[in-house]
A and B are shown apart, each in its own frame.
Chain A
Amino acid sequence: MRFLLYTTGDNTQPSAPPSQQMIDEVGKFTDETRRAGILLATGGLGPSTTRVRNSAGKLAVTDGPFTETKELTGGFALIEVKSREEAIEWAKRFRKIVGDGDSLVQEVFGG
């Protein structure tokens, strides 16, 4: 089973850049997921978002709002595991490292 794990956050509020210690710990965690053979793809998410919305056939594109920061504001991981619970367990471990905020866990079909 494949799951997409990704962080959601409030991009409008400038956040303090992550400490070197946190960056190292996230790196170690990523290695651990590779060592466990579950990581298919991963990457960071940039700060700017563009929303494309279809409302009754009318397409609206909204940019931003952007923060001043150029830092990554989140990340995603596509993992292959045995169960949703296993995906949740990995998400919990990630959250313990990066602290406050939300991670979402969604099953991916097809591919």
Chain B
Amino acid sequence: MTGADTHRAIDAVWRIESPKLIAGLTRIVRDVGLAEDVAQDALVAALEQWPESGVPDKPGAWLMTTAKHRAIDRLRRNERLERKHEELGRETLAQQEMAMSEHSSSADDLGDDLLRLIFISCHPILAPEARVALTLRLLASLTTEEIARAFLVPVSTIAQRIVRAKRTLTEARVPFEVPSGPELDARLSSVLQVIYLVFNEGYSATAGDDLIRAGLCEDALRLGRILAWLAPKEPEVHGLVALMEIQASRSRARVGPSGEMVLLLDQDRGRWDQLLIRRGFAALERVEKIDGALGPYALQAAIAACHARARTAAETDWARIVALYDALAELAPSPVVELNRAVAVGMAFGPAAGLALVDALTAEPSLRTYHFLPSVRGDLLVKLGRSDEARAEFERAAALTQNARERELLLGRAAACSRRETLS
């Protein structure tokens, strides 16, 4: 192997091993920042030694042993400092060293550690963007540079976010544990939110974007699948996985030949990824086996599943989608859910019924700058033959969207309205 080959091989080993490594180390040293630092030390040692010695037979164990030695070195240094300051009351070095000499953890321990690491990375004490950065770094093994490129922000910003997040967790002495009781729901919802945020960031990437950006969808799916394996009894985990699998199944169909956006109902369904759709259905079935009532993610997944089941757009079961939106609006009411419900009502019961609901939302302050509102309104007006008003709505939507591809699509629809007016 050449040096470059070995480096790529080490990179691959790192991607596979580092979440387990950092999780196991955090359990021992009780500090996620220190754990990541010594894991990085081990990576540096691997980069120095493996090109000469070859990749060891059990690279994960090698990295763990090396990282533990670094941890002992650092703790000894700290203890000397602490003795100087005559600080007492901390777990003694001897105890920690004993923890480190324990035999390799079982698969169950490992799973628990990984789950704890997910919960700590998504801890509500951190700002949402810090949770995202830390999770991608610790659990998806993305480098700081990759995260920065994916989120279109400077590397220094992400680096700072991660450093601060680790410091915050250390200072607050956040315990390395899976929350239980009433705390579990809130903490789990933060984890799911972080994963879905990563997914949406990737999903909104356009054709011209860096591939790393679109890769966020895969990162989020991978995290979701890991979580589903670690917390199989949580229905919303499977709900989120189902939602992401089905949405991801449409990735290729969402972009036309010249990079333009293609709306759901106009997509070539033959390009939908049937493997992901089946995986999504399977995840939804797991939700239903656990619990009769669907949570917000499972409901959104069930809506996505309605589209996935319809062989043509005309075969869509809109009445069922309306019913699912009703349930969602009850469980997690929001103007955006109402707007989506209005779309479904328009499809199920005619454009006039949909328009009445949309019109009731136009005064909603949180939707004032949301391009989807005028875009939906425009669509319903077209169906009612009110082309003139529709054109104005599409133009308004085009002015509001941040996405160039979407603007193109909306201006195209506005132009089509003008043509319709001329014809009539």
- A residues with a Cβ closer than 8 A to B are 28, 31-32, 34-38, 40-41, 78, 80-83, 85-86, 88-90, 96, 110-111
A86 CB to nearest chain B CB (Å): 4
B150 CB to nearest chain A CB (Å): 13
- Chain A residues with CB under 8 A of B229: 34-35, 37
- Between A31, A41, A80, A89, the greatest number of chain B beta carbons within 10 A of the residue's beta carbon is seen for A89
Known: A37-B229, A80-B221, A80-B222. A111 touches B275 (CB 8 A): yes
CB 8 Å contact bits of B379-397 with A (1 = contact, 0 = none): 0000000000000000000
Known: A110-B252, A111-B273. A35 touches B226 (CB 8 A): yes
Q: Which of B8, B218, B225, B226 contacts A85 (CB 8 A)?
A: B8
- How many Å lie between the Cα of A104 and that of B271 in the bound state? 27
Is the CB–CB distance between B12 and A88 below 8 Å? Answer: yes
Q: Give the number of residues in B that approach A within 8 Å (Cβ atoms).
A: 26
Is the CB–CB distance between A34 and B15 below 8 Å? Answer: no
Is the CB–CB distance between A82 and B15 below 8 Å? Answer: yes
Known: A36-B16, A37-B224. A80 touches B279 (CB 8 A): no
- Chain B residues with CB under 8 A of A81: 15
B249 CB to nearest chain A CB (Å): 9
CB 8 Å contact bits of B109-130 with A (1 = contact, 0 = none): 0010010000000000000000
B11 at the interface (CB under 8 A from A): yes
- How many Å lie between the Cα of A88 and that of B15 in the bound state? 13
Beta-carbon nearest neighbor of B142 in chain A = A82
Q: Which of B12, B107, B223 contacts A83 (CB 8 A)?
A: B12
B179 at the interface (CB under 8 A from A): no
- How many Å lie between the Cα of A25 and that of B16 in the bound state? 18
B215 at the interface (CB under 8 A from A): yes
Q: Which of A32, A36, A40, A88 contacts B279 (CB 8 A)?
A: A40
